[in-house]
Structure 1
Amino acid sequence: MQNTPHYEDQYLSLMRRIWEDGTVQRDRTGVGTKALFGATMRFSLADDAIPLLTTKRVYWKTAAREMLWFLTGNTNIRPLLEQKVRIWTDWPLDRYRRETGTIISQEDFEQRIVDDADFAEQWGDLGPVYGAQWVNWPRYEATENGLYRRAEKGIDQVSMLVESLKNNPGSRRHIIEGWNVAELDQMALPPCHKTYQFNVVDNVLSCILFQRSCDLGLGFAFNAFSAALLTRMLAAVCGYKAGELIWQGGDVHLYLNHASLVEEQLSRAPLGNPKLKLLRTPNSIFDFTIEDFEVPNYQPQSHISAPVAV
């Protein structure tokens, strides 16, 4: 009798394909990658299933805290660092070192961000990244002299999405978009997971996430979990069941300096089927807290570290 494929098998298969047959490319970071263009994976979210990798430990609470931070619209790393979430430090730290010529450790930089609000305001902001576009996409209004100025309150795509999911479930416009062309040059990093589209059929909510760029070795684990978490949160507040996460990648790559990560992970076999439990459903998508999430039955293999390419 043939065993049922594990949901993680498709991830490992894609990793192996890229590592063995991917095209070597020069990239923005100067590190170099092996890559392919265009990939799709599908993950069931039914019965609390969650696409959490088991062949290495994924710190899912870090990913959940990042998603909650996106939903606040905040673009400063200070609230993340106050929760010991360090995944966005590299970019402002690199800018601080380049622009000031100061030699400072990551730990000391992060502590200054936490301790000094003025320093955090000057050096901790990432520009109008994800959350800013999701809940405060800029809009402009006419002035009396016929010119235009930026409105104090922008477009809240997330609230609009919730309303459309509730009141017009058959729409083909259930989208959150992060790729604001006018503001890309102001962002520490243009959005990688740029477009989320949702679909409701028979009271079941599914999501397609399109990533223009995917670091399959490091970033994907967070991206897939976060998209699945957002889908579950939306399903809960809108009164739907969760169906499926369809993940699509444009430039899908592995960094050349991640050989040890790739080879170690490909030597492992996936085990177990973790679940994502929502312990509470608040009235608003914006009112979830980290205490509302639980992931039982998650027994991953050991963490595999690798450097982030900035």
Structure 2
Amino acid sequence: MTALLPDIACQSTRLPIPLDWVGMQGIAVALQITGERVAAYADAGVSLDEAEARGIHMSRLYLALDVLADAELSPTLLRDLLTQFLRSHAQLSRRANLALRFELLLRRPALVSPLNGWKRYPCEVHAQLEDDALQLELRLSLPYSATCPCSAALARQLIQERFDADFAASPLKASEVRAWLGSPQGIVATPHSQRSEAQLTLQLDPTAQAFAFSELIDHAEDALGTAVQTAVKRADEQAFALANGQNLMFCEDAARRLHRALLQRNEVSGFEVRVVHAESLHAHDAVAVSRWRRD
């Protein structure tokens, strides 16, 4: 059908310079994750190492991506796909790359009540194949709540001062103190909290049989202790307030907790943890970063 049509990409270039990456970005693809179809965007490309070649065959990469819709997303599937990229560009390319961007939807239970709801987790999978060596990277974004320890201490001091002022001249009665604690005049200050985000970049073992998306997310949220909620009743909101009050943390604390938790994951060979606390006190964010790589 195309025998009589010109193929300009097969012509020689007038500028014989190799290129690090040539391909397409933002391709709509379908993925299979835990048996469910997930909409995603793909960036697919190869290196153009043959300096004389005019271009690559982008349609070959595009058509090869269709395999993602029919099989569970796994390191093996990505290796096979990148191998196909290179086979379809023999003599032209030595390195193939693929990036997948999608959102995981996980159903999350409330803290106390029987309610539950869906929570989305932005994810990216990056894969590179060169000289038969596969590199895999997983990027996850996790929202959580963080209550400032300094603000909590300052609030407690103000409450103590109000307590001294209100009860200095009268004998204490338990009933009166209890009523005072439940009144607006008793709790005169509250610590400030912020919705925060943990951005995880994980280097994964390329020999793994599967991507442990849910397990990694659960492990990170358990380390933080105050993952944001979905559907709640008042009992759940109260339990969330208790969790925040018993789980005070600066951004440095959050980064260290995640660092320690990720060291326990055998499939992780390196990582970067970046936590961002969107300050409610300031107009800027508080950020902490931690990195580790297995020797």
Question: What is the TM-score when the length of structure 1 is the normalising length?
Answer: 0.23
Question: What is the TM-score when the length of structure 2 is the normalising length?
Answer: 0.24
Bigger helix fraction: 1
Bigger strand fraction: 2
Select the structure with the greater relative contact order (CA < 8 A; seq sep ≥ 6): 1
Structure number with greater Rg is: 2
